[in-house]
Amino acid sequence: MSKNKNILWYILAAAIVAADFAVKRHILAAYSVGERFGGIPAVCDFVYVKNTGAAFSMLSNNTIVLSAVSIVFCIAAAVYWIVKKPQHPMLRLAVTLLFAGALGNAIDRVAYKFVVDFISIKWFEFPVFNVADMAIVGGAIAAVLYVIFFDKENKNGKAKD
């Protein structure tokens, strides 16, 4: 795999982490916890929430454990990329999005001991989330699609990508 093929995936990961970082820093500087500050009509509101847990606030107040899990996951994703050298675009997208999302939330956990969440869906009850969370969900969806549609075993019984 050429380095030129990788650069776009690296740029995508960096752009997601940078966007997540910039939005969260703005929220920290400009708003108080619980404050609403706009949104997208009929879709979502923006409200600053401190999340000390993982998805759906599971494991609340376990920041050290969640920080460690996030960092280990980022390292594992990077090692996977280097060692396995995934070729299929759907698998590359999955790894890139999962890595970027995990890194975005890991930065918050290490720096602030909580994750900044701010997107609140209007049309159904759902936990408040952020840009990094969207990347993680997108990466998980890409991984599932890869497994369902593209991860076929070759003649030797080894999965190919």
pTM: predicted TM-score of the whole model, two decimal places: 0.89
Q: How confident is the model at residue 152 (pLDDT cuts 50, 70, 90)?
A: confident
Q: How confident is the model at residue 5 (pLDDT cuts 50, 70, 90)?
A: confident
Does pLDDT of 92 surpass 90? yes
Q: What is the rounded average pLDDT for all residues in the chain? A: 91
Expressed as residue numbers, the domain containing 12 is 3-34+46-149
Instruction: Identify the three-state secondary structure at position 51.
Output: strand
- Residue 70 belongs to a domain: yes
- Residue 142 belongs to a domain: yes
- Residue 158 belongs to a domain: no
| Over residues 131-152, mean pLDDT | 95
Burial of residue 82 (CB within 10 Å: 0-12, 13-18, 19+) is exposed
φ, ψ for residue 117, nearest 5 deg: -110, 150
- Residue 41 belongs to a domain: no
Q: State the catalytic residues.
A: 117, 133
- Residue 127 belongs to a domain: yes
Sign of the four-CA dihedral 109, 110, 112, 116: negative
104 touches 137 (CB < 8 A):
no
Domain count, the chain: 1
- Residue 66 belongs to a domain: yes
**pLDDT digits over 19-61, tens only?**
999 999 999 999 999 999 999 999 999 999 999 987 766 777 7
- Residue 39 belongs to a domain: no
- Residue 11 belongs to a domain: yes
Does pLDDT of 155 surpass 50? no
pLDDT of residue 60: 76
Query: For helices 89-112 and 63-84, what crossing angle results, to 10°?
Result: 150
**Cβ within 8 Å of residue 154, ≥6 positions away:** 160
pLDDT of residue 59: 72
